[in-house]
Amino acid sequence: MESRATISGNRGLMIEEPLIFEIGSDGRCGVDLPEPPAHKDRLGGMRRKATIGLPGLSEPQVVRHFTRLSQKNYAIDSGIYPLGSCTMKHNPRLNEKLARLPGLGGLHPLQPESTVQGALELIDTLARWIKILTGMPAVAMSPGAGAHGELCGTMTIRAALDARGDARKVVLVPDSAHGTNPATAAMCGYSVEPIPSNRRGRVDLAALKARLGGDVAAFMLTNPSTCGLFEDEILEQAAAVHAAGAFFYCDGANFNAIAGRVRPGDLGIDVMHLNLHKTFSTPHGGGGPGSGPVVLAESLAPFAPLPWVVHGPGGFGLVECAAGAASRSIGRLKSFHGQFGMFVRALAYMMSHGADGMRQASEDAVLAANYVRIALEDVMSAPYPGPCMHEMLFDERFLKDTGITTLDFAKAMIDEGIHPMTVYFPLVVHGAMLIEPTESESKASLDRFIDVMRALVERAKSGDAAWFHDAPRHAPRRRLDETRAARNPVLRWRPAGSTASAGQVPADKATA
């Protein structure tokens, strides 16, 4: 422990906070509820027998607990968050306010359509904006996040191929792809084969062409790529994919670099998911909720998942049944009509920016990333030459012989009050550092970031490895033992003295 340890373990504003289970007491309650009205129960003997074990806390205890927890989090509200491929841009508060309007946030999903016309129009409007921005004819709004959108898009491809009796078995994925891409392809019954990158960090077109054939269902590309580069041979890729009878899937996680300037529909793409929590700034909330609408070419649109929002003479309506025009739909992917609360926020973002602002935001994101690239590339090591798109990839060659890893470097950034960039992704370079400043940062903020990065590099190269190995020193916690967490998983609180495994039913031998 630190030699200057305090009596309480607290350090000024950084206050140690136990679990709610350790501060609660029996019988306390933070909500005043009336006595239940008199009634004779209809539970048919299915009343809960055992106590649950939830702690009791007053409202002030709860508010203080979660306030203290919040203070242990870094956030885009507190500082630059250059987490590559994650697009941590500013989250406007107007969007929060609008999502909470009773006429939107207070709607039940199964109200009669006649009572939710404004909400259906909002979905339809957002869909129209998305179609115009992407230059694609159709969009499926219901997927719950980007990976769910990938699942949706890949399923529509599979359904379209099945409909033409074309039993293709393979999905091609670049070696730099997000892990969700191969995982998704596998969930649709496809085997996955990687396509290597070339020396310029792009998909090796010759390798792609060589592998394409009658057994390939789709090629899944991320563009701009996870190396922060625009795939400059994308038109040739599209032509080759289509010539082989396959579909061209684009992971749209990085659409924020080109929105308003380039339309994926003009690049030969057949299907692409968007991450509303990236490009369109719906807050990421410490891990969701996201929203992953999927734009579709005409050839895939009939297979879009339910529900569909449609507009007829009587107003807006929902197609919730795979019949009629929707008879070829892949079906429902989740309950109800998608992440509606995220739709409200995304539409507010898009309307606030407008056509000119979205284009400016894309350009500013690209400008900021290139500004950082130029300012750091003489001291760090870039595997591929620029210009980059909205994010800049470095590798760890500049740390060679220092005894310092990418992880050590990232942890030292934490002590400087900067959230580290994405590390060890993409997998195509050693010790990847993927920096995405976004359009939200001021020039002064970018300059401070650059100054700190250059100073850290200098310190690393000066041989002060211990500085990095010990980092972080000033975070709420020092380096956490992830190996221990995985080897001996403790995944929930249990009262002192209880056994680790308290299964109430004998182990099932068939499935152990």
Partner 1 sequence: MRYLGLGDADRRAMLASIGVGSIDALYRDVPASAILKTPVDLPNHQGEMEVECAIAALAARTLPAGDVPCFLGAGAYRHHIPAAVDHLIQRGEFLTSYTPYQPEISQGTLQALFEFQTQVALITGMEIASASHYDGATACAEAVLMARRLTKRTGAVVSGALHPHYRDAIATNLRFLDARPVWLEPAPLADEDLAARIDATTACVVVQNPDVFGRLRDLAPLAEACHAKGALLVVAVTEAVSLGLVEPPGAMGADIVAAEGQSIGNGLSFGGPYLGLFATREKFVRQMPGRIAGETVDADGRRGWVLTLSAREQHIRREKATSNICTNSGLCALAFTIHLALLGETGFRRLAEINHATAVRLADRLARLPGVRVLNDTFFNEFAVRLPRPAAPVVEALARRGILGGVPGPRLFPDRPELADILLVAATETVSEADIETFATALAEAL
According to CB under 8 A, which residues from 238 to 257 bind partner 1? none
Residue 42 is a binding residue for partner 1 (CB under 8 A):
yes
Q: Which of 6, 10, 117, 462 binds partner 1 (CB under 8 A)?
A: 117
Residue 498 is a binding residue for partner 1 (CB under 8 A):
no
Paired tokens of 401: 């012989």
Residue 164 is a binding residue for partner 1 (CB under 8 A):
no
Q: Which of 160, 250, 304, 306 binds partner 1 (CB under 8 A)?
A: 306
Paired tokens of 69: 């927890």
Report yes or no: 166 and 245 within 8 Å, Cβ to Cβ. Answer: yes
Cα dist from 331 to 143, 298, 320, 435, whole Å: 12, 18, 9, 38
CB-based contacts of 37: which residues, under 8 Å, 6+ apart? none
| 3-class DSSP assignment, residue 14 | strand
Q: Which of 330, 392, 434, 456 binds partner 1 (CB under 8 A)?
A: 330
Whole-number Å distance between alpha carbons of 328 and 377: 51
- Least separation, in Å, of the C-beta of 462 and partner 1? 23
Report yes or no: 139 and 131 within 8 Å, Cβ to Cβ. Answer: yes
- Least separation, in Å, of the C-beta of 210 and partner 1? 21
- Least separation, in Å, of the C-beta of 192 and partner 1? 4
Tell me how many degrees the CA angle 68-72-77 measures, rounded to the nearest 5: 105
Site string for partner 1, 49-88 (x = CB under 8 A): xxxxxxxxx-x--xx-xxx-xxxxxxxxxx--x-x--x-x
Closest by CA position to 369, among listed 349, 355, 389: 389
Q: Interacting stretch for partner 1, rule CB under 8 A, among 240-248, 391-399, 407-415, 456-464?
A: 407-415
Q: Which of 15, 92, 239, 299 binds partner 1 (CB under 8 A)?
A: 92
How many residues touch partner 1 (CB under 8 A)? 227
Q: Which of 12, 489, 496, 497 binds partner 1 (CB under 8 A)?
A: 489
Residue 377 is a binding residue for partner 1 (CB under 8 A):
no
Whole-number Å distance between alpha carbons of 354 and 334: 30
According to CB under 8 A, which residues from 196 to 215 bind partner 1? none
Sign of CA dihedral 448, 451, 455, 457: positive
Please state whether beta strands 315-319 and 247-252 pair in parallel, antiparallel, or not at all (unpaired).
unpaired
For partner 1, give the closer residue by CB, 111 or 462. 111
Residue 380 is a binding residue for partner 1 (CB under 8 A):
no
For partner 1, give the closer residue by CB, 90 or 459. 90
| 3-class DSSP assignment, residue 331 | coil
Please state whether beta strands 315-319 and 216-222 pair in parallel, antiparallel, or not at all (unpaired).
unpaired
For partner 1, give the closer residue by CB, 122 or 272. 122
For partner 1, give the closer residue by CB, 197 or 370. 370
- Least separation, in Å, of the C-beta of 432 and partner 1? 13
